Amino acid sequence: MIQTEETFIAQTILHKVGNKHSETENVISETLLNTEDEELYKLLFSMSLKPFGKINEFYNFSHLTHLSMNEMYTYCSEVFEDANTFVANSQHIANHLYNQSASPQIKTGDLIISYFSDIFIKGELVDAIGILKIEKRSPFFQTFKDGKELYLGIDKGINPGKIDKGCLILNTDKENGYTVLSIDNNNYDAAYWKEHFLSLEYADDANAQTKHFLDLCKGFSNTVVKEELGKQEQAEFLSTTVGYFSENETLKPLEFQETVFSNNDKIKQAFIEYKDLFEEKKQIDFWDEFQVSNSVFESQKKKIKNDIKLDTHIQIKLDLENPASSKEYLEKGFDEEKQMHYYKVYFNNEL
């Protein structure tokens, strides 16, 4: 995670980004924003950096041919080498973003680009470039006075707590495409921001290894375990996976599959084959051993849905932290008289 106790905004600029498809043009600024007002500065600082404070998923700029052909990598490199090029390169960034809006669903918006000094990450203080795109304006009340009368009116403006899209490019790991953090809260076009504008790929670190392996397990539970064994077995597998991550500081994929699938060679072989396809599709390679990122694990664990939904409008929610419970206290069967499947749940007291 980044730390910003010593960070300050060195430069910031505002542009308006149009839509190429609808021929809505950009409005490009030539001068920096004046941030001498203390209240404005504090609000801008918080809006620009707070969304990235707890992000642990790092990316790098990428390109199929050569990294230098990634436009964002080139623009950022020039700014990091010479801060005097900030305004010109911010204009290039705005125009580059505009060129990605070839679809009618891409929204116009305000583009705030800032240059930060002294962000602490991975043991060093580095400079960074922050880019925020605000697509939605929030309504708020304004009060007006006319003589002795007071009136309420409605206006619209930028809500500093609701950023639509943003990224933070840190001046570290340049040879691999810099360290980049990204946010996209409006996924109307998943490829628009991360792929077309930034062209990002996951940084190959413990955070990425942890996230990818959890994604692998979730995908395998849906496409293989659930289909071949059923929802209860899927829930047990997810619980076992969470338990394995909780109990181990490091993870060895080979050891994981030998432990988790020790009693089922068929499913173990299916996992090996699924893992090979997953690596090929995601263009990643799992390390022989990697440190489990606790922050990534806790974040991803919240996204795991470990429940059994039935067509009779009944839902059984299982505890991820106690995988043995479903084996011991949940029994699945088939009622010949009703010609229906059933679950039998054992318990001592209702809580």
Residue 144 has pLDDT above 70, yes or no: yes
Q: State how far the alpha carbon of 221 is from the alpha carbons of 90, 214, 215, 224, 233, in Å.
A: 44, 11, 10, 6, 9
The percent of residues above 70 in pLDDT, for the chain, comes to 99
Q: What's the pLDDT tens digit per position in 7-61?
A: 999 999 999 999 988 888 999 999 999 999 999 999 999 999 999 988 878 999 9
Confidence of residue 323 (pLDDT cuts 50, 70, 90): low
More confident residue, 231 or 212: 212
In 3D space, the residue among 72, 2, 58 whose CA is nearest the CA of residue 181 turns out to be: 58
Residue 322 has pLDDT above 80, yes or no: no
- pLDDT at 34 (0 to 100): 94
More confident residue, 347 or 56: 347
* Cα 155 from Cα 148, distance rounded (Å): 22
**Bridge partners of 311?**
none
**Residue 31 backbone class (left: φ over 0; alpha: ψ -120 to 50; beta: rest):** beta
- Which two three-digit tokens encode residue 41? 């500065």
Confidence of residue 131 (pLDDT cuts 50, 70, 90): very high
Highest-pLDDT range among 37-41, 111-115, 221-225, 279-283 = 111-115
Residue 325 has pLDDT above 70, yes or no: yes
Q: What's the pLDDT tens digit per position in 241-283?
A: 988 998 899 999 999 999 999 888 999 999 999 999 999 988 8
Q: For the chain, percent helix, then strand, then coil, each to nearest 5?
A: 40, 25, 35
3-state secondary structure of 13: strand
The percent of residues above 90 in pLDDT, for the chain, comes to 55
Tell me the one-letter amino acid at 229.
L
Angle between helices 71-81 and 86-98 (to 10 degrees): 170
User: What global pTM score does this model have?
Assistant: 0.73
- pLDDT at 271 (0 to 100): 95
**Residue 230 backbone class (left: φ over 0; alpha: ψ -120 to 50; beta: rest):** left
- pLDDT at 1 (0 to 100): 78
- pLDDT at 307 (0 to 100): 77
The angle formed by the CA atoms of residues 176, 180 and 182, to the nearest 5 degrees, is 145
Q: What's the pLDDT tens digit per position in 288-308?
A: 999 998 878 888 888 887 778
Whether 117 contacts 127, CB under 8 Å: yes
* Cα 160 from Cα 112, distance rounded (Å): 12
- Which two three-digit tokens encode residue 5? 């106790």
Mean pLDDT of the chain: 90
Q: Range with the lowest mean pLDDT among 74-83, 128-137, 154-163? A: 154-163
Q: State the average pLDDT over residues 59-77.
A: 95
* Cα 154 from Cα 97, distance rounded (Å): 31
